[in-house]
Amino acid sequence: MVRSSSQIVLLLLWFLCGAIFCLSLSRGNSHMLCNRKDRDVLLQFKKGVVDPSGLLSSWSNREDCCEWIGVHCHNKTGRVTKLDLSFYIISQQNYRLQGLTGEINLCVLQLDFLNHLDLSSNDFTIIQDSTNDRQRYYNSSFSTPHLHNANISSLHYLDLSSNPYLKIDNWRWLSLIPSLKYLNLSFIDLQGETDCLHSISTLLPSLLELRLKWCQLNSVRLSSKYANFTSLTVFDLFCNNFNSKVIEWVSNFGDSLSYLDLGCNLIDAITDTLLNLQNLKYLSLSWNKLKGTIPNWLAQFKNLQELDLSENSFHGSIPLVLGNLSSLTQLIVGGNSLGGVLTESNFANLTNLKVLDISLSAFQFNVNSDWIPPFQLEEIRLKSCILGPKFPIWLYTQRFLQILDISTTRISVFDHNQFWSFVSNITSILDLSNNSITGDISNLVLSTDSIDLTSNKFHGELPRITPDVGDFFASDNSFSGSISPLLCGTGKAIDNGLWFLDLSNNHLFGELPDCWMNWKGLITINLASNNLTGSIPPSMGKLSNLAGLYLYDNNLSGGIPLSLQQCNQLKFLNVAGNKFSGSISSGMPQSLVALNLRGNEFRGNIPPQICQLSCLIILDLADNSLSGPIPKCLHNLTSMKSGSTFKISGFFIPKIDNIYPYTFKFHPKGLELEYKFDLLNLWRYIDLSKNNLTGSIQPELMLLVGLISLNLSQNHLRGTIPQEIGQMKNLESLDLSMNQLFGEIPQVMASLSFLEYLNLSFNNFIGRIPTGTQLQSFDPSSYVGNPELCGAPLKNCAQEKKSVDIVNAKDQNEFLSCLYIGMGVGFATGFWGVCIALFFKRAWRHAYFKFLDEIKEQVYMKVHLIINSIR
Ligand SMILES: *[C@@H]1O[C@H](CO)[C@@H](O)[C@H](O)[C@H]1NC(C)=O
Ligand SMILES: *[C@@H]1O[C@H](CO)[C@@H](O)[C@H](O)[C@H]1NC(C)=O
Ligand SMILES: *[C@@H]1O[C@H](CO)[C@@H](O)[C@H](O)[C@H]1NC(C)=O
Ligand SMILES: *[C@@H]1O[C@H](CO)[C@@H](O)[C@H](O)[C@H]1NC(C)=O
Ligand SMILES: *[C@@H]1O[C@H](CO)[C@@H](O)[C@H](O)[C@H]1NC(C)=O
Ligand SMILES: *[C@@H]1O[C@H](CO)[C@@H](O)[C@H](O)[C@H]1NC(C)=O
Ligand SMILES: *[C@@H]1O[C@H](CO)[C@@H](O)[C@H](O)[C@H]1NC(C)=O
Ligand SMILES: *[C@@H]1O[C@H](CO)[C@@H](O)[C@H](O)[C@H]1NC(C)=O
Ligand SMILES: *[C@@H]1O[C@H](CO)[C@@H](O)[C@H](O)[C@H]1NC(C)=O
Ligand SMILES: *[C@@H]1O[C@H](CO)[C@@H](O)[C@H](O)[C@H]1NC(C)=O
């Protein structure tokens, strides 16, 4: 969860500025030349590096190596002291570049005065030990760890984190860096590296901080004998596969440990042996499997400042004794099954509290109306607590809030002026969604980074927003009037302004404004279910980051402008239920995953260019006036050729309702369903019904074996059902009704075992309905209007038929790459794409965490990890 976001932001910015300052400092000293040996070592190191983006182009023979990017020298001796090749630094935040890959040559340890080495967030693959005398050195150092006659590196900081493809199969090189104090191997797969903990604990006696987030470590061979870390102060084991055994193990670490993160493991029980760690200041057990009540003994951690027990299965209330932890700054217990009444005494001694998260609990506050809490919070999350209908007056005493989440708390009553002047000071997140808040806020100018007003009773015109606003969610209200004042007021382009805009389900009217070029950062626009008129303005084509455009259920008209083709990230386009007309544009963005033009007035042929949309999995052109044949090339829609379930790997932005709010009305089984896009349950469907299509159903169409639903009903199609339909094993819904199809129903259809809905009515089919459980079990209405059809469930026939063999088709899947957002190849690229995004848009990070609640897929955990590591 987001903690003291602004502090993090400041810290990281400070760190960045520091780094840039250092860089410029070292550049400034142009008269100082680096040590010749150091330069040779660096050049040797570079030889092993593959550098596709030329990040190390400043590393050349000629220049002073102290001026090379990432190289820091002592200002008098010119010896290299620090090498910082973290992608974040060397890419200068241009996350479209690719990180370094290839090998990490340990020759770099021959830099005699190197004490800081950071190679994090790249794509390195192996650690290469090329020096000849190393083998001897290892052998001797293993027998006598504290060797004095060998050259021992003075390195005390090593960060190799987030090199996810790095393979480390031997740990003896650690003996070359015995003075190491800080080691970060987070996000490196150490599964199966059973020696890893043992080697680290024996070979690095000076280690103070060890970060092993998301390393796939498990509890096998966990014992203090095997790995004894008694001098560690920081131990980060977030997101591994440790079970409750890990508690006993870490409990032996003793007094030095002040920071322990055991979040996101498989721990289902904790014992008070943990109290051995008397100096613990930070303890996280979040995202585990803990149950029962929150143990009272936690209150005996006298020095505890941050306690995170969120996302477990605790029940009961918050023990009163936790109110004794007067050092506590963060109390995070959201996402459990907690509840009960909280009184002033729960908080009596929590004078330093800055973060309180009791969200997703059934807590009620029973405090005096004039209660002045002893704390000044920066973040409070009360989602789903029982607060309403009156806004809790005591919250007004919190003058430094950056995050306020009072969603789903039944709040409806407050003093308009006092409330809005209070929330106008909140900088990061303001979540008021799912309450009954009423009022006209058109006179307000909102500036919080993420604003969620969804599902309230706001009316009147929209408020104004400043360029500081990143997310503005206001759907399911009664806002009316035009969108223009909200968007066009600023009059100038804002590159890092709004990312997500959701104004759906309101009563907005008027034309779409033509000032989208001012909001180039937009990723999703949802204006569905309003009363908007006019056409899509050309400036929407300027939105080069746009991934989702939802304009369905309005009164929009005109054509789909060609300029939209420039939105080369556009994945979801839904303009169903409008009055769009003309022919379907042949220039749709190649990136489209879902295209919904249903219920408009499009005419003419379906352009064959549609077949080139290789990412498309949803094509809905139903209920228009399209004519001509179904394009023969539809089988080129390659993403529809694979099945419906995925093994998710790689890295992409996962579904968050707010990123891809792809809800659309779905008509699979004669019903109208609302469907939400969900990466793990991807429907693939084609709906061309209610048009004026002619010609026959081509056998090639049956190559789209990933299809779950095919609807060609209410057209003028002729001919027979191709035998190849037997390949479409994923088909759950097939509607060919109200055409002029004829011939027999192919026997192979009896093998479509997922088929739940079938409608072949009102055609000219003849003969016997094939025998097979599915086909017989449908209602007779599936077959009516075919006078010469017989067999169950219709009338009996006279003669018998033979069955035909089933054709099998193989699934294949290259679809996932379609969902990447504007990122090229390489982890570093994707990593920083998301990471920077997450970093600057704090609200996202919360959304990711919410998402993780639903799915703990590996890829999402990666995101989780990333978020946590920049925290
Ligand atoms: C060199 O560094 C030291 C301390 O790090 C600092 O006091 C000194 O001013 C620096 N000298 C130059 C010339 O930058
Ligand atoms: C180091 O030890 C390994 C086995 O532990 C051995 O194979 C190797 O020859 C030794 N190297 C030297 C230089 O002694
Ligand atoms: C070890 O240090 C000596 C002198 O300090 C130097 O001559 C030698 O090259 C060093 N060896 C390595 C492998 O760096
Ligand atoms: C890696 O760990 C070190 C030591 O704990 C820490 O200072 C550093 O910030 C970490 N790096 C990343 C990328 O989180
Ligand atoms: C762990 O190391 C400490 C200090 O080096 C030592 O006192 C303790 O006995 C060790 N524990 C085990 C189980 O080896
Ligand atoms: C707060 O601390 C005081 C003394 O420090 C103690 O007497 C009191 O019981 C504590 N209150 C609660 C609610 O723990
Ligand atoms: C908002 O912040 C300003 C400046 O920090 C302060 O003067 C004002 O009292 C605050 N308003 C509220 C309602 O807290
Ligand atoms: C939409 O606007 C038209 C007139 O512009 C009006 O007649 C109609 O009632 C409005 N519909 C809704 C749902 O507000
Ligand atoms: C369909 O794919 C084939 C080969 O895969 C290609 O030759 C053909 O041009 C494509 N047709 C269209 C309309 O994209
Ligand atoms: C359908 O097509 C026929 C002939 O192709 C034409 O006469 C008729 O007007 C069309 N209907 C619509 C709704 O486009």
* Ligand 4 binding pocket mutation candidate from 87, 182, 184, 261 (most atoms within 8 A of CB): 184
Which residue lies with its CA nearest to atom 11 of ligand 9? 633
Which residue lies with its CA nearest to atom 10 of ligand 4? 184
**Taking 50 as the threshold, does the pLDDT of residue 177 lie above it?**
yes
Residue 711, pLDDT score: 93
* Ligand 7 binding pocket mutation candidate from 399, 421, 448 (most atoms within 8 A of CB): 399
CA distances from residue 482 to 488, 500, 531, 561 in whole angstroms, order as listed: 11, 18, 10, 22
CA distance 780 to 793: 5
**Taking 80 as the threshold, does the pLDDT of residue 252 lie above it?**
yes
Query: Which atom of ligand 8 has the smallest separation from the CA of 555?
Result: 1
Q: Evaluate: CB of 136 within 6 angstroms of ligand 2.
A: yes
How confident is the model over 451-472, as a mean pLDDT?
A: 92
| CA count, 13 A, side-chain hemisphere, 685 | 29
Token pair listed for 864: 């989780």
> Nearest ligand, CA of residue 142?
2
**Taking 70 as the threshold, does the pLDDT of residue 811 lie above it?**
no
**Taking 70 as the threshold, does the pLDDT of residue 824 lie above it?**
no
pLDDT confidence of 522, banded at 50, 70, 90? confident
Residues 6+ apart with CB under 8 A from 788: 764, 765, 766, 767
* Ligand 8 binding pocket mutation candidate from 477, 530, 531, 556 (most atoms within 8 A of CB): 531
Which residue lies with its CA nearest to atom 10 of ligand 10? 692
Indicate the angle between helix axes 858-869 and 827-840, nearest 10 degrees.
60
Which residue lies with its CA nearest to atom 10 of ligand 3? 151
Q: Evaluate: CB of 212 within 6 angstroms of ligand 4.
A: no
pLDDT confidence of 465, banded at 50, 70, 90? very high
Query: Which atom of ligand 7 has the smallest separation from the CA of 424?
Result: 1
How confident is the model over 380-409, as a mean pLDDT?
A: 94
Residue 244, pLDDT score: 94
Which residue lies with its CA nearest to atom 14 of ligand 3? 110
> Nearest ligand, CA of residue 296?
6
Nearest Cα neighbor of 284 from 245, 334, 320 is 334
**Taking 90 as the threshold, does the pLDDT of residue 357 lie above it?**
yes
> Nearest ligand, CA of residue 172?
2
Which residue lies with its CA nearest to atom 3 of ligand 10? 692
Query: Which atom of ligand 4 has the smallest separation from the CA of 161?
Result: 13
How confident is the model over 498-504, as a mean pLDDT?
A: 88
Residue 4, pLDDT score: 36
Residue 490, pLDDT score: 65
Token pair listed for 528: 């569905």
Greatest Cα-to-Cα distance within the chain, rounded to the nearest angstrom: 103
Question: Lowest mean pLDDT: which of 118-132, 518-532, 608-622?
Answer: 118-132
| Ligand 8 centroid from CA 457, angstroms | 19
Query: Which atom of ligand 3 has the smallest separation from the CA of 150?
Result: 1
How confident is the model over 467-488, as a mean pLDDT?
A: 91
Which residue lies with its CA nearest to atom 13 of ligand 2? 136
- 3-state SS, 535-602, equals CCCHHHHHCCCCCEEECCCCEEEECCCHHHHHCCCCCEEECCCCEEEEECCCCCCCCCCEEECCCCEE
Nearest Cα neighbor of 733 from 642, 646, 665, 670 is 670
CA distance 215 to 192: 10
Q: Indicate the residue type of 602.
A: F
> Nearest ligand, CA of residue 556?
8
Q: Evaluate: CB of 611 within 6 angstroms of ligand 9.
A: yes
| Ligand 9 centroid from CA 639, angstroms | 14
Contact assessment for residue 776 and residue 753, using Cβ atoms and an 8 Å cutoff: no
pLDDT confidence of 78, banded at 50, 70, 90? confident
> Nearest ligand, CA of residue 447?
7
> Nearest ligand, CA of residue 137?
2
Pairing type for strands 116-118 and 80-84 reads parallel
Q: What is the pLDDT of residues 537-588, one digit of tens each?
A: 989 998 988 888 999 999 999 998 888 888 888 888 989 999 999 999 878 8
* Ligand 2 binding pocket mutation candidate from 132, 134, 135, 175 (most atoms within 8 A of CB): 135
Ligand 3 pocket: which residues have CB below 6 Å? 110, 151
Residue 744, pLDDT score: 92
| 3-class DSSP state of 662 | coil
Please indicate whether residue 679 or residue 696 has the higher confidence score (pLDDT).
696
* DSSP character string of 516-530: GGG-TT--EEE--SS
| Ligand 3 centroid from CA 44, angstroms | 16
How confident is the model over 517-528, as a mean pLDDT?
A: 87
Query: Which atom of ligand 6 has the smallest separation from the CA of 323?
Result: 14
Q: Evaluate: CB of 418 within 6 angstroms of ligand 7.
A: no
Annotated domain spans of the chain: 35-189, 213-287, 841-871
Token pair listed for 719: 């001919």
Query: Considering the domain 35-189 in this protein, what is its CATH number?
Result: 3.80.10.10
Residue 146, pLDDT score: 38
How confident is the model over 182-210, as a mean pLDDT?
A: 89
Residue 640, pLDDT score: 85
| 3-class DSSP state of 139 | helix
Query: Which atom of ligand 6 has the smallest separation from the CA of 321?
Result: 14
Q: Evaluate: CB of 366 within 6 angstroms of ligand 5.
A: no
Token pair listed for 374: 């002893």
Which residue lies with its CA nearest to atom 7 of ligand 2? 135
* 343-365 residues labelled b (16+ CB within 10 A) or e (exposed): bbebbebbeebbbbbbbbbebeb
- Pick the most confident of 85-89, 639-643, 659-663: 85-89
Q: Evaluate: CB of 135 within 6 angstroms of ligand 2.
A: yes
CA distance 187 to 103: 17
> Nearest ligand, CA of residue 229?
5
Nearest Cα neighbor of 454 from 412, 504, 380, 491 is 504
Please provide residue 132's backbone torsions phi and psi, each rounded to the nearest 5 degrees: -70, -40
Residue 817, pLDDT score: 52
Ligand 10 pocket: which residues have CB below 6 Å? 625, 627, 692
Query: Which atom of ligand 9 has the smallest separation from the CA of 612?
Result: 14
* Ligand 5 binding pocket mutation candidate from 230, 248, 252, 253 (most atoms within 8 A of CB): 230
Residues 6+ apart with CB under 8 A from 50: 100, 101, 102
How confident is the model over 439-467, as a mean pLDDT?
A: 93
| Ligand 6 centroid from CA 356, angstroms | 19
Residue 653, pLDDT score: 31
Alpha carbon 573 to its chain centroid, in Å, reads: 20
- Give me the sheet containing 337-343, strands edge to edge: 291-293, 313-316, 337-343, 362-366
CA distance 219 to 317: 31
* Ligand 9 binding pocket mutation candidate from 633, 639, 812 (most atoms within 8 A of CB): 633
Residue 468, pLDDT score: 87
CB atoms within 10 A of CB 113: 17
Percent of the chain with pLDDT over 90: 49
Question: Lowest mean pLDDT: which of 339-343, 389-393, 565-569?
Answer: 565-569
**Taking 70 as the threshold, does the pLDDT of residue 469 lie above it?**
yes
**Taking 90 as the threshold, does the pLDDT of residue 7 lie above it?**
no
Place of tokens 């190649």: 590
How confident is the model over 306-314, as a mean pLDDT?
A: 93
Q: Evaluate: CB of 228 within 6 angstroms of ligand 5.
A: yes
> Nearest ligand, CA of residue 151?
3
Q: Evaluate: CB of 425 within 6 angstroms of ligand 7.
A: yes
Please indicate whether residue 696 or residue 34 has the higher confidence score (pLDDT).
696
Query: Which atom of ligand 2 has the smallest separation from the CA of 139?
Result: 1
> Nearest ligand, CA of residue 553?
8
Q: Evaluate: CB of 633 within 6 angstroms of ligand 9.
A: yes
Q: Evaluate: CB of 202 within 6 angstroms of ligand 5.
A: no
Residue 597, pLDDT score: 93
**Taking 80 as the threshold, does the pLDDT of residue 88 lie above it?**
no
Which residue lies with its CA nearest to atom 9 of ligand 6? 324
Give alpha helix (H) positions in 447-516: 484-488
CA distance 721 to 712: 12
**Taking 60 as the threshold, does the pLDDT of residue 837 lie above it?**
no
Please indicate whether residue 564 or residue 855 has the higher confidence score (pLDDT).
564
How confident is the model over 668-691, as a mean pLDDT?
A: 64
Nearest Cα neighbor of 3 from 418, 315, 331 is 331
Query: Which atom of ligand 3 has the smallest separation from the CA of 151?
Result: 1
CA distance 405 to 809: 50
What does DSSP assign to residue 38? Answer: H
Which residue lies with its CA nearest to atom 5 of ligand 4? 209
- Assign residue 92 a region: left if phi > 0, alpha if psi is -120 to 50, beta otherwise? left
| Ligand 2 centroid from CA 194, angstroms | 22
Torsion of CA 528, 533, 534, 540, to 10 degrees: -20
Residue 167, pLDDT score: 85
Indicate the angle between helix axes 842-854 and 858-869, nearest 10 degrees.
150
**Taking 70 as the threshold, does the pLDDT of residue 613 lie above it?**
yes
CA distance 202 to 192: 19
Which residue lies with its CA nearest to atom 2 of ligand 4? 184
Residue 818, pLDDT score: 55
Residue 89, pLDDT score: 83
